[in-house]
Amino acid sequence: MSIHELLSAGQRDRIQGLELFARQVVEGFCSGQHRSPHKGYSVEFKEHRPYVRGDEIRSIDWKVFGKTDRIYIREFEEETNLKATLIVDSSGSMAYAGQRVATTKHHYATQLAAALAYLMVGQQDGVGVATFDTQVRDFLPARSRMSHLQAICSVLQKRSPGGETELSHVLGGLAKKLHRRGLLILISDCFADVPTLIRALTHFRRAKHEVLVFQVLDPDELDFPFSGRIRFRNLELADDHEEVDAAALAEAYRKNFREHQRQLRDGCGRCRIDHVLMTTDMPVADGLASYLATRRRLA
Amino acid sequence: MTLLNGLLALGAMAFTIPLVIHLLFRNRFQTLDWGAMRFLRNVVEQNRRRMQLLNWLLLLIRCLIPIFLAFCLARPIVTGWRQPRGDEPVALAVVLDNSYSMTARQEERRDRFAVAVETVRAIAGSLARGSEVVLLTSDGMGRVTDPAGIDSQLDQLRPGGGPFELDTLLGKAIGVLSQSAMANRQIVIVADHTASGFTQAMLDGLPAIRQRIASVTPTPEVVWVDLLGESPSPFRNLRIHSVESEANYAVPGQIVPWMIEAKVDGPAPEKVEFRMRVNGQPSERRTEIVRDGTARAMIPLTADQVGRQVVEVEVAAVSDPQRADWTDDFPPDNRFAVPLRVLEPVEVWLVDGHPTDKPLAGDTDYLTIALSPFATSSTAAGVSPADLFRPRKVRFGRLAETQAAGEWPAVVVLADVARPSAADSKWLVDFVQNQGGTLVVFGGPSIDSQWYDQNLIDDQRVPLLPLRFGEPRTSVAGLAIDETRLTYPPLSLFGTREKGTLAGTSFHGWLEMLSRGGTTDAPADLPPNAPPNAPPNAPPNASADGQAGGAENSTAAAADPAREANVVLRLEGGQPLMAIGASGLGRVLQIASTSNEIWTTLPLRPAFVPLMQRLLLHLSIDQDAGLVATAGEPLVLTGVAPDGEWSVSTPDNKSHRFKPETSLVWTDTSQAGAYRFESPSGEVIWSAVRVPDADLKPAVVDRETRELAAARLGATLHDSLDEYLAADASRRFGRGIWKYLLAALVIAMVLEPVVQQYRSRH
């Protein structure tokens, strides 16, 4: 499985032109576009400052000393690569594909994850991936090699949706694996208890991770366009169904959904987490481009 | 329940259509794999019960719509548990109240009787062909006829049939219906429920009548049509309150003043007019102003022709052109009839036991004054007093000789005559027993009791005296009259203290009066045959007239010839004071005390004059039993020979001819007023018919009492003719309920989209 199977050529071209700028400087082993809080011996000079006792002798800029007879310390700004982890929801609810869009949410999420991975690897950033339903099913730590991108795509492609969503449990388990600060990208429909989800994400924020939430929904789940007698069969739980008059319940559903979204949006806002709603009728690249453009403006 | 269009009811099976649709679509649904179940689940839990309820309600409404429609078209008829009789003929007994109270006007100024007649016509008109109807009224029973034939009977019917006696009429109805061959029988009561007819005794007797009705097979159905509408408000009624005259007897040429008082209930007219009619001919009239709801007039009438006369008094409101006409809501009490008898003075022979020229020293002097009080009086303006008696003193021992020179007297009075001569005795026996004369024997100290007993009782084949004279008795303190037993009509007046009593009269001496068998047992008292305080010429609410000569029409039984003696007055010790007996054709009044002041103070009392006048008048003239009757009761004229063909003129000026059989009786007395009877020989007799007192009270019993009466009778009470007809149609054909089903259909059709919308919104 390769990136070419997940993304079309056009999508790949558009993604290559994108740049993902991390809002925060993250730690990395390689120099790159991301500024590191660590000053060291890098290619880009930052400033001179007067010597103070305790500074390393090797940091003294002897040329300046020779010209000015003053001891200055030469400081460089070091660039490091981004280390991002894609957390992709593979629960049963992600298997839904509406009548208007044939793509399942899971497939859309996979495409989105692949696009992000491709983008980051192209930027020499490290990227890892985790899939989950009730627990973490696959986990690849972050790497920046192109060969790693193939591994990511392979993991995403082979995972099929199923099982219930247990976001809080899953995020708790991932927190133990991600020791260094980085970028955490959750791709899910977020059909979970919002306070619990927000609590789990807050835990990452406290560990200085930047968190992005891409909420992937089918348009049907937004406007509930159904009518007549419908048996709704639960995608996450076998033998669980409800036979309802859809038209009679539509308004109540929409009300509940709006309330859920409001809680999610507010919770993310409070934790300075970007919440990006993407529907499956929206091309992945367009949605991503729109988000990144917005992010660049705000950066 | 039956269906007129039964086949259409099969359309109700269409209710299965929505049911089948429901069942078919119940398992037809789209299956959708859905991830966002968390947003559905709580909504489903909240709405599941309500939606199920709404769904079932909607299903029910949709099923009911074709059912309602089908049954509405099928015309269902509810008949209860009974088989409707349909157009089968029925035997109907209509108990119709035609008493005078039915003339009271109701709110729309129609009288109750008109409404009742209209009701009976409508009821008869609703009967099936072949039905039989009989009309039962207070004054009789019509013949059994077909429904069409009842119209002619109703045309002839007028108010005035006498008091409405429900129990009596129901008894007749039961008798008629029990003889009917019809299987369906019904009694319909059409009445106004005046309070006078709803006595406690009548109410208590209704369960027994109900049992009688139930004992008839097939049992008649009893229906009570309550026709009583609202009385006009205010209820205006002008009525004669009292009519008083000097006397019910007069002599030719005497001017008799009539005191008339009329009262008005409710708003009063400004003036009223009193009209007098004598023997049906208009006489005097007066217009008087109404003050405080009362108008009074004094109208003198001159008695001219000898004979029985009827004086009618009528009062009517004088219409005022400046004001709206005043309407009397109850006319029957505007007229009142009083009998007046004009007669030649009664010839009375007074035989004095101690004749003397000294004033008031003789035994008959007080009696002379009492019988002819106006002989020496002057004539007052507008009034011409005249004596009803012509007393004449006859010497003792010359009775036969005096009579031989002229006509027979009407009354002979022996006042303390010690021992009549043999010739006088023989003449007295002939006078009483053969000539029908009246003998009055006063006691006294000179009376030879043994002679009287021997010659006038023991030696006579038919005893002349009612009692034997015994020993003279005296009382220094004097004995008073026992006023508790004044039941004899001429004496009943004196039991009323307002008019004068015999109180204060004292008797110091008297003769014992013993039964003719010689025992000292007190003879029997006269049984009361008339209420002592209710003379028949007293109008309703009127006080007693206080005049001599009243209460003359009900005394036939007083002189019962079968009885040996009737003690009509006693002393307070129980000693007989006056006794009346019949002997042959005549009558004898025997008095234990004197006619002067020797033994008693009675001649000195004012009451002595009316007492003696009433007694002698009552005994000496023929009684007029049929002179005045109440409406609905037959007029029976006594003292006339019912030979040949008589004619009668009724108050409506119609003349009828009839041939009496054993006695002169006229039964059609529904109209109040004067009736003129004329014999084949041209003799004219006037009689009057009055409205019964019970019918002069138009007030009706309350609704609860009417319902109680109907319940006790087991009758169905209907408030109107329409209600009766609807109920009768229901009994005959059942009750159509298609209107209700149509209403239910409309409601269901309106409800269905409403529920549908509600269900969609919620």
Rg (CA), chain B: 39
Q: What is the pLDDT of residues B671-708, one digit of tens each?
A: 888 888 888 888 888 888 888 777 777 777 888 888 88
Using CB atoms, pick whichever of B25, B31, B44 lies closest to residue A249. Answer: B44
| Residues of A in Cβ contact (< 8 Å) with B38 | 191, 256, 260
Domain final residue pick, B620, B645, B672 = B620
Q: What was the ipTM of the complex prediction?
A: 0.76
Question: Do A193 and A62 share a structural domain?
Answer: no
Using CB atoms, pick whichever of B41, B46, B762 lies closest to residue A242. Answer: B41
Looking at every residue in chain B, the average pLDDT score rounds to: 81
Tell me whether residue B540 is in a domain: no
Question: Do A42 and A20 share a structural domain?
Answer: no
Question: Do A162 and A101 share a structural domain?
Answer: yes
Question: Do A171 and A245 share a structural domain?
Answer: yes
Higher pLDDT among residues B316 and B549, named by residue = B316
- Position A299 scores a pLDDT of 57
Q: What is the pLDDT of residues B12-35, one digit of tens each?
A: 788 888 888 877 776 677 888 888
Write out the DSSP string of B715-756: PEEESSHHHHHHHHHHHHH-EE-HHHHHHHHHHHHHHHHHHH
- Position B508 scores a pLDDT of 93
Tell me whether residue B244 is in a domain: yes
Using CB atoms, pick whichever of B25, B36, B46 lies closest to residue A221. Answer: B36
Question: Do B273 and B242 share a structural domain?
Answer: yes
Would an 8 Å CB–CB cutoff place A256 in contact with chain B? yes
Average pLDDT over residues B297-314: 85
Question: Do B394 and B331 share a structural domain?
Answer: no
- Position A130 scores a pLDDT of 92
Question: Do B324 and B409 share a structural domain?
Answer: no
- Position A9 scores a pLDDT of 67
**pLDDT band of B728, cuts 50, 70, 90:** confident
Question: Do B76 and B6 share a structural domain?
Answer: yes
Most confident of A40-54, B202-216, B384-398, B725-739: B202-216
- Position A80 scores a pLDDT of 55
Tokens of B274: 């009193």
Check CB contact under 8 Å for B40 and A245: no
| Residues of B in Cβ contact (< 8 Å) with A240 | 37
Q: What is the pLDDT of residues B573-598, one digit of tens each?
A: 889 999 999 888 899 999 999 999 99
Token look-up 């007879």 returns A69
| Residues of B in Cβ contact (< 8 Å) with A107 | none
Tokens of B115: 């409404």
Range of the domain at B271: 237-342
Tell me whether residue B446 is in a domain: yes
Query: Which residue spans within B204-254 are E strands per DSSP?
Result: 221-226, 237-245, 249-250
Average pLDDT over residues B600-614: 90
Question: Do B568 and B444 share a structural domain?
Answer: yes
Strand order in the sheet with A183-188: A136-143, A126-132, A83-89, A183-188, A210-217, A274-279
Check CB contact under 8 Å for B29 and A230: yes
**How many beta-carbon pairs below 8 A join chains A and B?**
88
CA distances B262 to B181, B270, B311, B331, B687, Å, are 53, 13, 16, 13, 23
Range of the domain at A273: 3-27+81-298
Question: Do B332 and B389 share a structural domain?
Answer: no
Number of domains in chain B: 5
Task: Identify the weakest region by mean pLDDT among B17-26, B331-340, B600-609.
Answer: B17-26
Helix, strand, or coil (residue B489): helix
| Residues of A in Cβ contact (< 8 Å) with B25 | 229
- Position B672 scores a pLDDT of 81
Question: Do B169 and B301 share a structural domain?
Answer: no
Question: Crossing angle of helices B38-74/B738-761, nearest 10°?
Answer: 170
Helix, strand, or coil (residue B72): helix
Q: Name the residue type at position A93.
A: S
Cα–Cα dist A231/B59, whole Å: 21
Write out the DSSP string of B427-471: HHHIIIIIT--EEEEE--TT--HHHHHIIIIIT-SS-SSSSEEEE
Check CB contact under 8 Å for B35 and A226: no
Strand order in the sheet with B2-3: B2-3, B76-78, B735-736
Tell me whether residue B533 is in a domain: no
**pLDDT band of A23, cuts 50, 70, 90:** very low
Check CB contact under 8 Å for A95 and B29: no
| Residues of B in Cβ contact (< 8 Å) with A241 | 31
User: Which chain B residue has its CA at the smallest distance from A228's CA?
Assistant: B29
User: Which CATH number fits the domain that encloses residue A165?
Assistant: 3.40.50.410
Cα angle B657, B661, B666; round to 5 = 50
Query: Which residue spans within A15-135 are E strands per DSSP?
Result: 34-40, 44-50, 72-80, 83-89, 126-132
Q: Are strands B221-226 and B716-718 parallel, antiparallel or unpaired?
A: parallel
CA nearest neighbour of B90 among B236, B205, B188: B188
Cα–Cα dist B145/B149, whole Å: 6
| Residues of A in Cβ contact (< 8 Å) with B29 | 228-231, 243
User: Which CATH number fits the domain that encloses residue B423?
Assistant: 3.40.50.880
Distance, in angstroms, between B27 CA and closest chain A CA?
Answer: 9
**Looking at chain B from residue 26 to 65, which residues have their Cβ under 8 Å from any Cβ of chain A?**
28-44, 46-47, 51
Tell me whether residue B371 is in a domain: yes
Task: Evaluate if residue B526 carries a pLDDT over 60.
Answer: no
Q: Which of B21, B25, B26, B39 to mutate against chain A (most A CBs within 10 Å)? A: B39
Q: Which of B26, B34, B756 to mutate against chain A (most A CBs within 10 Å)? A: B34
Helix, strand, or coil (residue B66): helix
Task: Evaluate if residue A29 carries a pLDDT over 50.
Answer: no
Question: Do B336 and B255 share a structural domain?
Answer: yes
Task: Evaluate if residue B232 carries a pLDDT over 80.
Answer: no
| Cis geometry, peptide bond prior to residue B218 (ω within 30 degrees of 0) | yes
CA dihedral A195, A198, A202, A204 (to 10 degrees): 130
Check CB contact under 8 Å for A226 and B32: yes
Tell me whether residue B539 is in a domain: no
Tell me whether residue B448 is in a domain: yes
Question: Do A197 and A180 share a structural domain?
Answer: yes
User: Which chain A residue has its CA at the smallest distance from B757's CA?
Assistant: A248
Question: Do B206 and B323 share a structural domain?
Answer: no
Cα–Cα dist A96/A104, whole Å: 5
Task: Evaluate if residue B559 carries a pLDDT over 70.
Answer: no
User: Which CATH number fits the domain that encloses residue B248?
Assistant: 2.60.40.10
Check CB contact under 8 Å for A221 and B35: yes
Question: Do B217 and B119 share a structural domain?
Answer: yes
Q: 10 Å Cβ neighbour count for A86?
A: 29
Question: Do B111 and B208 share a structural domain?
Answer: yes
Number of domains in chain A: 2
Using CB atoms, pick whichever of B28, B33, B47 lies closest to residue A249. Answer: B47
**Looking at chain A from residue 104 to 163, which residues have their Cβ under 8 Å from any Cβ of chain B?**
105
Q: Name the residue type at position B438.
A: T
Question: Do B728 and B582 share a structural domain?
Answer: no
Task: Evaluate if residue B398 carries a pLDDT over 80.
Answer: yes
